[in-house]
Structure 1
């Protein structure tokens, strides 16, 4: 047991990569579901009507104000206490750790993405909205053609940060027996008793995965803001010659 076990890491790498694949699926799918849920929440939060903002405010207040681990336990352990759920048609899904983790992370990240979207919508210059209305665009057409595309440009960096935080928070899924990257590392430690090697290898895989996500979001940000970096190319037109009195007659 003396010395650093490089051979143990190499032997355990295939299992750790399996756990990384589960983590990637969990983060990417819940991030997509959270984004879809956050769209109506963020739009409602930016409404000038207080009664429209009330329901999304309560949702966001709960999921941002309570720990993710508590939310995970409430869904994984709490739903099983209700007889109606156990006898319902969805119990075969809700009893699975992966589905419970996916549901929890989707609901949790939707609250944060909704606030990102609200801030991005409010950051759109008013002149662009006024220009859209001046050419006859209605409220929903302005939202679809002007507000949401501009909000996507403004909020993309913050959304990328939220996805990175989700990757790190996904380690909590191992507490409900899900064999994600952290859960797989804990399972391997139970067999080889090499905690330093396993957690160090898992940390490096998390780091690489987050670096890849950062690069992808950076490329997406550059693609969406390309028109802001490249000035339009001006085509030089030949200057017509002004005839003078010294020119010979044709």
Structure 2
């Protein structure tokens, strides 16, 4: 009986191999199979964020960032307390907007004017400043990784446009302020306000808000509770701009 089973198994295997050859699985060159696999992986990387963005429309869904997931997986731990945009001091929202993306309300996820300027400066060999919008930073924090990378930047662009199409400006800002990093293991403005100033995000002063906004470009090295002279100078500029931010925050009102 075992011999009969072995013969049947060999016959079945031959039939399967013939079928797979007929479909091109075994006859395709290896580079074709690699391209096919790469295409499937790319489709997964594109459509998964789009599906998640559709889920993130729902107000009671509280997304987490890739850095937060990394801290969780490595058992580093993190502090994040989700708050709605209405529970955040308006002066903090204004400070972050004027500091990080002054054209937030007028662009469609990407500030092409600033991006063209940065590309031109890079082509001329000049040191460039980042052209990331708040929307681009949001999708980077949600779906991508940190560090300078042209690959990551190219992925940010379509994701930012998709996020701007799917989500409202208020929702993008709300998500950003709740997943942005404000120190090692400190994520979101509520945890940041409590950790650095011992008060809720709704009670931040103009100077505290400006210092927190000045921290965002480098939250690991910058401490808003113990600002350097450079940070204090930046915070004074941000605070002055935030007082005049009326026209720039109309999409959040």
Q: Report the TM-score, using the length of structure 2 for normalisation.
A: 0.25
Bigger Cα Rg? 1
- Of Structure 1 and Structure 2, the greater helix share is in 1
Q: Report the TM-score, using the length of structure 1 for normalisation.
A: 0.26
Q: Which has the higher contact order (CA 8 A, sep 6+)?
A: 1
